[in-house]
Amino acid sequence: MGLLSRFLLLFAALFYSGVLAAQTKVYVAAYDYPPYFSDILETDLTRELVKRLNEHQDNYEFIIEVIPPSGRYEALSVGGCCDAIFFESPSWGWRNHDVEIEKTFPLVRGKERLVAAKKAGRTQSFFNSYEGKRFAGVKGYHYLIAGELKASDELKQEYTVYLADSRITNIRMVLGGRVDLTTVNDELLAALDGSQQIKVENLLLAESTDFQYELHLLVGPSKKIEASTLQRMLSELGRKGEIDRLFRRFNMERFQLYRPSTIR
């Protein structure tokens, strides 16, 4: 190899390492909330969106930091481990914590509903009451009970509740007869449709939904990135068709709020 070729290779290596060093590392908090994030599923929306954001630009490197659901507020607080959280609702306990957050436009409108195992003679009336029934929840989640949004630990004080670390574990407990009820988001049911992991057709779904919510990308006070910057990146990905492809991959088009034709 000639001297010029060696110089060019060295220059390219130094330039590339300089670009990597100049990237701002943005840590994205992620907790088990399938299909938005899950260590049980093969992939999820957060991992796929992080991959697309990293491939799309060179100024920021997005890195997923796995946390428990109850740790999200501390994670985004001043001095916390993370800078942002994806697919999150500002109404899920954030008002009760002193965390300054910014939000992008909403990407998803989701719904949650009660589910039980299908059994002969079991009808919609099974969902009318929690009395005498065993409920499976997830630590750190919020549930709408009697018109009031309650944290999982509050729910446990009033009902027979088993708290697991995963919503998919909850569904398996229902199907296995270990508990009577759990709450599942419609987006997960859509993503699992046709899956061999969970037989959705064996679940009895409540006809009425517990509550609806809109999910955004939230940015904490670290100032490593602004919500407006994230929103611009989402718009750029949207114009390239990446956002539509992302939701289509998880069978979630009907929950999708952001489309390139609706927001610029």
206 shares a domain with 115: yes
Residues 169, 183 within the same domain: yes
Residue 137 lies in a domain: yes
Asked if 83 and 167 sit in the same domain, the reply is no
Please state, in angstroms and as integers, the Cα–Cα distance from residue 150 to each residue in 137, 141, 156, following that order. Answer: 12, 8, 10
Beta bridge partners of 28: 64, 84
Give domain status of residue 260, yes or no: no
Q: Does 204 reside within a domain?
A: yes
Nearest CA to 85 out of 98, 60, 67, 97 is that of 67
Q: Does 85 map to a domain?
A: yes
- The answer to whether residues 222 and 204 belong to one domain is no
Q: Is residue 262 part of a domain?
A: no
Give me the number of domains the chain comprises.
2
Residue 193 and residue 127 share a domain: yes
In the chain the beta strands, taken as DSSP E runs, fall at: 24-30, 60-66, 84-88, 102-103, 108-117, 134-138, 142-145, 148-151, 160-164, 181-185, 203-205, 211-219
Residue 202 and residue 72 share a domain: no
| pLDDT given at position 41 | 87
Q: Does the residue 264 lie in any domain? A: no
Closest CA to 82 of 264, 221, 232: 221
pTM of this structure: 0.86
* CATH code, 131: 3.40.190.10
pLDDT at residue number 72: 94
Residue 264 confidence (pLDDT): 46
Are 141 and 175 within one domain?
yes
Domain finish residue from 177, 197, 212: 212
Residue keyed to tokens 């909330």: 33
Asked if 60 and 225 count as a contact pair (C-beta separation under 8 A), the reply is yes
Q: What is the pLDDT of residue 19?
A: 47
Same domain, 92 and 221: yes
Q: Are residues 100 and 115 in the same domain?
A: no
Whether residue 116 sits in one domain with residue 101:
no
**Which residues constitute the domain of residue 122?**
111-212
Same domain, 86 and 168: no
In a domain, 79, yes or no: yes
- Whole-angstrom Cα distance, residue 225 to residue 227? 7
State the pLDDT at residue 130: 84
Q: Do strands 24-30 and 84-88 pair parallel, antiparallel, or not at all (unpaired)?
A: parallel
DSSP annotation of 181 reads: E
Is the domain of 12 the same as that of 87? Answer: yes
**Digitized pLDDT (tens) for each residue of the chain, 264 residues in all:** 555 555 555 555 544 544 455 899 999 999 999 999 998 888 999 999 999 999 999 999 999 999 999 899 999 999 999 999 999 999 888 988 889 999 999 999 999 999 999 999 999 999 998 888 999 999 888 887 767 777 888 888 888 899 998 999 999 999 999 999 999 999 999 999 877 778 899 999 999 988 899 999 999 999 999 999 999 999 999 999 999 999 999 999 999 999 876 544
